[in-house]
Amino acid sequence: MIRNRSLAVLLLATTVGLAACDGITGTTSGSPIGVGSIGARTKGTGFTTNPQIAFYRVSGATFVSAPGVRDTCYLAAYSESGGSGTTTASILNAGNYLTVGTGSRLDTLKRTGGALDPTYRSTLAAGIPYTPGDSVVIMVPGDRTGFPMSTFRGKTAEAFTMGQLVVPPDGSPINVTWTPASDLNAAMFITFRYRSALATTLDRQIACSFVDDGSGQVPATIATAWITAMTRDMIAQRVRTILSQIDVPLSYFNIISAFDWPTPISP
């Protein structure tokens, strides 16, 4: 399950393990990569986003590709704090600022945290106004010794609503429905969190990924613990991705656009 709090982990742990990923390995000296996130937040009756993009040189990484997701569910531990991720990758420069176009709007992302912070982000406290599902264009001016000059295009994850969840009898599968995406280049990640018998907080989960066609099912063989738990909930996330390769110099760029349900509130 990809959560907004853990998208920063994509900014890099040398190997990033997520459902439906494309693995790559660079040269012995490493390949330049750009990784980041575009997440939705509610702002009144609209939405904002706070894109974050960073650049590194690595010898190997695993990237996320939403069109490669297949229906699958598994049981796992759950922690509200998530993981912070670690990296020994070399930080790269990609220019003084990046330009991000969403819909008809243009904004800039800058490195504001000093030389040790690789992340380009907006200086707008409330983020960038946008409509989930807008097209996005990311222009990288590039750096001679860092990430090359390049332009990437994609689509942000659309807003969606979940259908009413009916808790089935023990021994039955859990069926879920949601507003489907406009095409099959998106993926859904749904987490069924619950508190096990001796725990005081949510500590277990059924983590599912689904093709974004509007419906999914948790097999009865793993649904029992959630169905019978005294404390349980469900969270969901639609994901779209940009995954591109630059041939000279060999470089990679991977952005995750996400829409969460429930949706975080913008500052």
Q: Where are the domains of the chain?
A: 4-69+86-158+239-261
When mean pLDDT is compared across 17-21, 154-158, 172-176, 262-266, the lowest value belongs to 17-21
Counting Cα atoms < 13 Å in the Cβ hemisphere of 57 gives: 17
Q: Does pTM top 0.85 for this prediction?
A: yes
Structure tokens at 235: 């969270």
Confidence label for 184 from pLDDT (cuts 50, 70 and 90): confident
Q: How far apart are the C-alpha atoms of 158 and 169, rounded to whole Å?
A: 32
Contact indicator for 10, 35 with CB cutoff of 8 Å = yes
DSSP 107-130: EEEEE-S-TT--EEE---TT-EEE
Asked if residue 266 lies in contact with residue 214, where contact means CB atoms within 8 angstroms, the answer is no
pLDDT at res. 201: 95
- The contacts found for 78-86 with CB under 8 angstroms, 24 or more apart, are 78/191, 78/193, 78/202, 78/203, 78/204, 78/205, 79/203, 80/201, 80/202, 82/3, 82/5, 82/6, 82/9, 83/6, 83/9, 84/9, 85/6, 85/8, 85/9, 85/11, 85/12, 85/13, 86/13
Residue 27: predicted pLDDT: 45
- Residue 80 has what pLDDT? 81
Number of CB atoms found within 10 A of residue 179's CB: 15
Can you tell me the mean pLDDT for 114-143?
93
Provide the pLDDT for residue 8.
Answer: 29
CA-based nearest residue to 241, from 153, 182, 169: 153
d(CA 251, CA 249): 6
1-26 residue pLDDT tens: 444 333 323 333 322 323 334 555 44
| Token digits of residue 111 | 């490195």
Residues 229-262: tens digit of each pLDDT:
999 999 999 999 999 999 999 999 999 999 999 9
Question: Is the pLDDT reported for residue 77 higher than 90?
Answer: yes
Question: Percentage of the chain with pLDDT > 90?
Answer: 78
Residue 15: predicted pLDDT: 29
Q: For residues 114 and 17, give the distance between their C-alpha atoms in angstroms, rounded to a whole number.
A: 29
Among all chains, which residue has been given the structure tokens 């709007």? Answer: 105
Q: What percent of the chain has pLDDT above 70?
A: 87
> What pLDDT score was predicted for residue 23?
52
Residues found in the chain: 267
